[in-house]
């Protein structure tokens, strides 16, 4: 089944403890992206990657890191999490982006709580 898999689904952590949220897709998509979803703020893009070893900042990259060493994986790293990073996170991938895009496939989400 074509899918984007995120892990973990739920995570509670303490301020300052480094964590990684994994994202993997099995569709051979070149494009991958991370979003956070907060009440009243909609979906905001954190980072995206157009291909292996090519990443770029989205609208809210502060406090996050990403890497794209292989096409299928795009982990999101929080080096020193803070309570304002408590959110619902989504990974997405796409075969084609920009004008003529065929849309994104989203993961099921990771609900992160930082205390």
Residue 86 makes CB contacts below 8 A (sequence gap 6+) with: 112, 113, 114
Q: Figure out which of the listed residues 58, 71, 77, 86 binds another protein, where binding follows CB under 8 A.
A: 58
Q: Say how many Å lie between the first and final Cα of the chain, rounded.
A: 36
Does 97 help bind another protein (rule: CB under 8 A)? yes
Q: Figure out which of the listed residues 1, 42, 62, 115 binds another protein, where binding follows CB under 8 A.
A: 42
Q: How many residues touch another protein (CB under 8 A)?
A: 27
CB 60 within 8 A of CB 46: yes
> Cβ of residue 21: shortest distance to another protein, in angstroms?
13
Does 5 help bind another protein (rule: CB under 8 A)? no
Stretch that binds another protein, among 18-26, 60-68, 71-79, 102-110 (CB under 8 A): 102-110
The pair phi, psi for residue 83, each rounded to 5°, is -55, -30
């Amino acid at each position: 089944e074509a899918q984007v898999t995120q892990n973990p689904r739920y995570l509670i952590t303490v301020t300052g403890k480094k964590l990684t949220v994994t994202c993997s897709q099995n569709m051979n998509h070149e494009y991958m992206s991370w979003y956070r979803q907060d009440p009243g703020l909609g979906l905001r893009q954190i980072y995206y990657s157009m291909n292996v070893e090519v990443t770029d900042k989205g609208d809210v990259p502060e406090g996050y890191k990403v890497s794209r060493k292989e096409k299928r994986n795009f982990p999101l790293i929080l080096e020193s999490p803070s309570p304002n990073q408590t959110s619902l996170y989504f990974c997405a991938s796409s075969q084609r982006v920009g004008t003529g895009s065929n849309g994104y496939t989203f993961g099921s989400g990771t609900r992160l709580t930082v205390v």
